[in-house]
Amino acid sequence: MNDIVNYVSRELGGASTGLTVAYLIVGVMILIMSVVCLVLEIRVWLCYRKANKRGISTHMTGIESARFVLDKSGLTQVKVRKAGFLREAIFGNYYNVATKTIYLRSWLGKIDDRMTVTSTALGVQKAAVARLCEEGDAEARTRGKLSLLGIFGPLLFIPVILIGMLIDMLVMKDITIISYVSMAVSGLLLVAGFIVTWLNIPVEKRANKLALKMMREYGLANEDELQMMAEVYDAYILSYIAQFILEVLRVVQWILEIIIKIQNNKSE
Residue by residue, pLDDT tens for the chain (268 residues) are 565 666 556 666 666 777 778 888 898 999 999 999 999 999 999 999 999 999 999 999 999 999 999 999 999 999 999 988 877 877 788 898 889 999 998 877 678 789 999 999 999 999 999 999 999 999 998 888 777 555 555 555 555 455 555 555 555 555 556 666 666 666 676 677 777 777 889 999 999 999 999 999 999 999 999 999 999 999 999 998 998 898 788 878 878 877 777 776 666 5
Q: How far apart are CA 59 and CA 62, in angstroms?
A: 10
Strands 101-104 and 94-96: antiparallel
Question: Quick one: the chain helix, strand, coil %, rounded to 5?
Answer: 75, 5, 20
pTM of the model: 0.77
In whole angstroms, give the CA distance from residue 252 to residue 248: 6
CA atoms within 13 A on the CB side of 58: 25
Half-sphere exposure of 63 (CA within 13 A, CB side): 14
DSSP labels for 97-164?
TTTTEEEE-SSTT--TT--BHHHHHHHHHHHHHHHHHHTT-HHHHHHHHTHHHHHHHHHHHHHHHHHH
> Residue length, the chain?
268
Residue 46 pairs in a beta bridge with: none
What is the phi/psi pair of residue 202, to 5°?
-65, -35
Query: Using CA atoms, how far apart are residues 262 and 267, in angstroms rounded to an integer?
Result: 9
Nearest to 22 by CA among 200, 236, 267, 259: 259
79 forms bridges with which residues in the sheet? 101
Q: How far is it, in rounded angstroms, from Cα 73 to Cα 150?
A: 29
Distance between CA atoms of residues 1 and 189, nearest Å: 34
User: Using CA atoms, how far apart are residues 78 and 96, in angstroms rounded to an integer?
Assistant: 10
- Cα separation of 157 and 79, whole Å? 34
> Rounded to the nearest 5 degrees, what angle is found at the Cα of 67, between the Cα atoms of 64 and 70?
150
Query: How many angstroms separate the CA atoms of 20 and 22, rounded?
Result: 5
What distance in Å separates the CA atoms of residue 264 and residue 40, rounded to the nearest whole number? 39
Q: What is the DSSP string of 48-100?
A: HHHHHSSBPTT---HHHHHHHHHHHTT-TT-EEEEPPHHHHHHH-SEEETTTT
SS3 173: coil
